[in-house]
Amino acid sequence: SQTIHQWPATLVQPVGSPLSLECTVEGTSNPNLYWYRQAAGRGLQLLFYSVGIGQISSEVPQNLSASRPQDRQFILSSKKLLLSDSGFYLCAWSGTGRATYNEQFFGPGTRLTVL
């Protein structure tokens, strides 16, 4: 069966510090991968998605970047964190067929607090 891992589970970082969140998927090949953010009391916002190694699409301009160095690894980064980067960061995967793009399977999330 497929599993998705995220780490760390929680993170407290000072403003201006760098960020690296990692997501890995097991049990599937060539998945679509997604990074979402859920700010406190707000809905889900898609940040990045990837359909293959090295292929990243950004949904909103921001202080963050994403990379996919391996088929089942997705990394979210920032060079300098802002207070507004605080939130619950979720990685998800889906199949690559059109009928499966919207069936997404989420990781446990990373709760980031920027102070």
Q: Which residues bind other proteins (CB under 8 A)?
A: 32, 34, 36, 43-46, 49, 59, 90, 92, 94, 98-99, 101-109, 111
Of 14 and 97, nearer to other proteins (C-beta) is: 97
- Phi and psi for 98 in degrees, rounded to 5? -55, -35
Give the three-class secondary structure for 84.
Answer: helix
Residue 37's Cβ-side half-sphere holds a number of Cα atoms within 13 Å equal to 21
Cβ-proximal residues to 24 (8 Å cutoff; 6+ apart), any chain: 4, 5, 72, 73, 74
Least CB distance to other proteins at residue 88 (A) = 8
Least CB distance to other proteins at residue 53 (A) = 18
Least CB distance to other proteins at residue 67 (A) = 19
Of 83 and 99, nearer to other proteins (C-beta) is: 99
